[in-house]
Structure 1
Amino acid sequence: MIYKDFKESIKNLGFLTIEDFIKYAGVTSDDILSWETKNEVPYTISLLLHILKGEKEVLPTNWGLQSIVEECLPLATLLEEASSFPHKLEEMFLLQKKLNDSTNGKNWELGVNKFGKEINWLRCIHMEVSELIESTPWKHWKNINSDPDMNNIHVELVDIWHFLMSYILQETNVPKAVSLVNTHCIYEASQDIDVKAMVKEAEKLSYIALAIDTGNMPSFSGIERFIDQFFRCCKISGLSFTWLQKLYIGKNCLNQFRQDNGYKEGSYKKMWNHIEDNVVMVSLLEKIENISFEELYNNLKIEYSLAK
């Protein structure tokens, strides 16, 4: 199906705008732009449109119902998951605000913590991007044949997400934040990771942060660019929104646990029996199907009590 026919089809089906179709079909605005550029719409999407229009005659004659279901299953799965995204986003933004209130004091949104220290979320994002890149074999003089540490790359993306959410909350409120982010969460994480492309996409997050921080990009349009680019990085890095949310709950819980156990004072032990606390946290997440902050916190408390 060519792009012109696609636009006409969604109009005939009652979608007022392309954005309405995006929300329904579980695709991103980037997908739509790529279809327009190529003037070609993926077969699965054109099949979905034909089914919605009731045009059974366009379906392959050798297809049974099961074949059609299997073809549309990935899209249906995304749609089912997407229905819970606003709730999950709201939970994450509220947890982030609670953590920031606890560690930085009330009114941290004004850019200063309770100790009078300036808060710079943009610099935080820039530094976390550097840590993400350090988890890849980018150096031409060292470990050139080594594999990227994808587990740590995902953890670094979650750290970036902490700071990006904080920056968004500094500029707006929770409901508006959820509205800004919601449509970007529907994507299929890549199975085949292109490390060079991943590094380049991650670097763009730094460029946006530096552009805003130096006054070369307006803050609000920068936020929209940030959100779009962040989820592009997640997609190309193989980090699904579901696992991002689970890792976020885990890292948020670990951050609170660190604060409660002397992180600011310097008495916290980051290595637990020769294993970094991040690694312990991820191993606990993998054992818990439906993560809750309280359950994970209690498990961390047990593991920390056994740490030497």
Structure 2
Amino acid sequence: MNDKFEKLEEMFTLQARLNDDTNGPKWRQGVTKQGKVINWKRCIVMESAELIDSFSWKHWKNIAGGIDLENIRIEMVDIWHFVMSYALRFHTPEEAAKLALAAMKESAVKLPESWSEEEDARIETLLEPFENLMALALVKSESREYLEELLEGFWECVDAVGMDFDGLYRLYIGKNALNQFRQMHGYKEGTYTKVWNGREDNVVMQEILAKNPDITYKTLLESLEERYAAVR
């Protein structure tokens, strides 16, 4: 079995489970357990906008500010949560994984690891993959062909930011585990502590991943539990 397919299916399965736990049984019908309307494509638009704000695109300030590449990659994982959730409205994890695998595509645009005046001059070109993804998410369509195009646009962005598939997988597993952990410890109720001894939980999660890149989902949850117990 293709390793990428297995990891894709795992990610889609984890996302479906997270949506079940956080939104209730009707999320595939577009509503939460409280009856709140869910719009996954709007989520993609808003997260894409946050990603774009990691560029110094504003002509009125931070003209030569460069980019926050680390945050851009984290935003890509946040976008992936919503792309997967949208695909899962219409497909099983297995079906969605097959579509995602077939849609993998490289980007003609590559973000630089370091910034210079030359990059300032071509920032409009560098923003193209992310603005294209945002534009796709605004299209009023639910066809299979549309989903395939949305997935292609996502993979182009992943390639543009210099993430390989395993890097996306590893960071997604980390973010999913953290999201699940938050829900288990009162995030929606407002009782969860997000800052652990002066550091955000997201930073702690990334430190755990950095020390053990091959960590399993279960072990990561256990590690988060240990760290969180020391905060309370």
Paired residue type of 2:228? Y
The answer for the alignment partner of 2:112 in structure 1 is 192
Q: 1:272 to 1:220 in 2, by over 3 A?
A: same
Query: Is residue 96–residue 165 contact of structure 1 (8 Å, CA) maintained in 2?
Result: yes
Q: 2:188 aligns with which of 264, 268, 281?
A: 264
Matches within 5 A, 1:1-308: 83-185=2-104, 190=110, 192=112, 196-212=124-140, 217-307=141-231
Rounded Cα–Cα distance in structure 2 between residues aligned with 1:101 and 1:151: 30
Paired residue type of 1:275? R
C-alpha displacement of 1:268: 1.6
Rg larger in structure: 1
Query: Is residue 194–residue 200 contact of structure 2 (8 Å, CA) maintained in 1?
Result: yes
Paired residue type of 1:192? P
**Equivalent residue pairs, number:** 223
Query: Is residue 105–residue 155 contact of structure 2 (8 Å, CA) maintained in 1?
Result: no
Q: 1:279 to 1:228 in 2, by over 3 A?
A: same
- TM-score, normalised relative to structure 2: 0.88
More helix, by proportion: 1
Paired residue type of 1:207? A
- TM-score, normalised relative to structure 1: 0.67
| Structure 1 residues without counterparts, runs of 5 or longer | 1-81
| Structure 2 residues without counterparts, runs of 5 or longer | 114-118
Q: Output one character per residue of 1:75-128: Cα deviation in whole Å (capped at 9) or x when no partner.
A: xxxxxxx93101000100100111111111113101111111111101111111
What RMSD in Å do the two structures reach over aligned CA positions?
2.2
Q: Higher RCO, 1 or 2 (CA under 8 Å, sep at least 6)? A: 2
Q: 1:230 to 1:186 in 2, by over 3 A?
A: closer
Paired residue type of 1:163? F
Same amino acid, percent of matched pairs: 44
